[in-house]
Structure 1
């Protein structure tokens, strides 16, 4: 009788779909400038959901307003020298992550590159805690790639270049 019960339990376990655990990741975000990587300004937590990747920022010390927010292809946040010899904050993060090689910026809900994330909105006290959704990303996409916060908003278009977000002001790499 015991063996029959155990066999029945095993059969039911094999027939039932496995419970899928949502993957999560936390990334420390640091201020950056042309001289290097500065202090932590907070964290970004991200978790997989049935709607895509939910990203929860807990950042402070930013200027009030909208800030472009992108997943970049590089795995570093350091400054680098551009072709004109100028030091650029966070240039080691490389360009926006574009695994499908679309070479276009259409926002987080468009079919352009997958590095476009929803703008971060910062309150008058310099904080942002409003969650954003990236429907075409998973938490695993953040591993080994830089998350970059830009000085200005983002148009999600190719004009002005890179959506007009401006200078890179904060960065962290998923691990």
Structure 2
């Protein structure tokens, strides 16, 4: 009897140990699954954040440029970059030579003089021109060179402005802003606008 009793006790102990081992294995598998799920969730969140940043970086608006007679003379695509915006201008039917090219403070292009666009976009309240001690305006940009056939293609990087709404230097501020091409070249120092002459083409910057 004692021998059978001992055998039964050993078998019972073996069953208990086997059950415990199974539970531990299940817990480990469950823990691994939970860890994997958390990693996937973290990966998804990271992907979402990255996607949002890429979407913000790729934001762009298209501007239609018109002359004093209301004729369309070109387009400018403005694209948000990590630092500022790029402006890709393609225009035609313009006078040959060098022309001032600025962002103006109001999103209105009323022909024929386009004075409705106001002055240069200047949220920092500084002086005009890259050659001035207290400048330039956020809307000051390099001159355009129009060829003999009246055409110009130009990409300009402006690090002083953004398309992000709500920012002081946003081109999409309330009331909007505008792109303006002038009759003459900007000398980059005369106040308040570089002595660039009349406004010969204008386009409203809007969503």
Would you say same fold, with TM above 0.5?
A: yes
What's the counterpart of residue 16 of structure 2?
Answer: none
Matched, 1:142 2:178: no
Indicate conservation of the 8 Å contact 1:62/1:126, yes or no.
yes
Matching residue of 2:84: 52
Report the CA distance between 1:158 and its aligned residue: 2.3
Structure 1 segment 5-154 matched on structure 2, within 5 A: 5-14=36-45, 18-19=50-51, 20-21=53-54, 22=57, 23-32=59-68, 38-79=70-111, 89-102=113-126, 104-107=127-130, 111-140=135-164, 141-143=170-172, 144-154=176-186
Q: Structure 2 CA distance, aligned partners of 1:56 and 1:134?
A: 11
Q: CA deviation at 1:112?
A: 2.5
2:184 & 2:73 partners in 1: Cα distance?
17
Q: Distance in 2 between matches of 1:112 and 1:28?
A: 25
1:51 positional shift: 4.7
Relative to its length, the structure with more helix (as a share) is: 2
Contiguous gaps of at least 5 residues in structure 1? 80-87
Q: CA deviation at 1:50?
A: 3.3
CA contact (8 A) 2:78 2:88 kept: yes
Flag structure 2 segments of 5+ consecutive residues without an equivalent: 1-29, 165-169
- Given that 1:52 and 1:136 are in contact with CA atoms closer than 8 Å, whether structure 2 keeps it comes out as yes
String of CA shifts for 1:80-138, please: whole Å, max 9, x gaps.
xxxxxxxx701110111111111x11239x84321101211111111111211112122
- 2:196 aligns with 165
Q: RMSD of the alignment, in Å?
A: 2.3
Q: Map Cα deviations across residues 149-174 of structure 1 (whole Å, 9 max, x no partner).
A: 00111111125x52011000000101
The normalised TM-score by structure 1 is 0.80
Size of the alignment, in residue pairs?
Answer: 160
Shift of 1:38: 0.9
Bigger relative contact order, structure 1 or 2 (CA pairs below 8 A, ≥6 apart)? 1
Give the alignment's TM-score, normalised by structure 2: 0.69
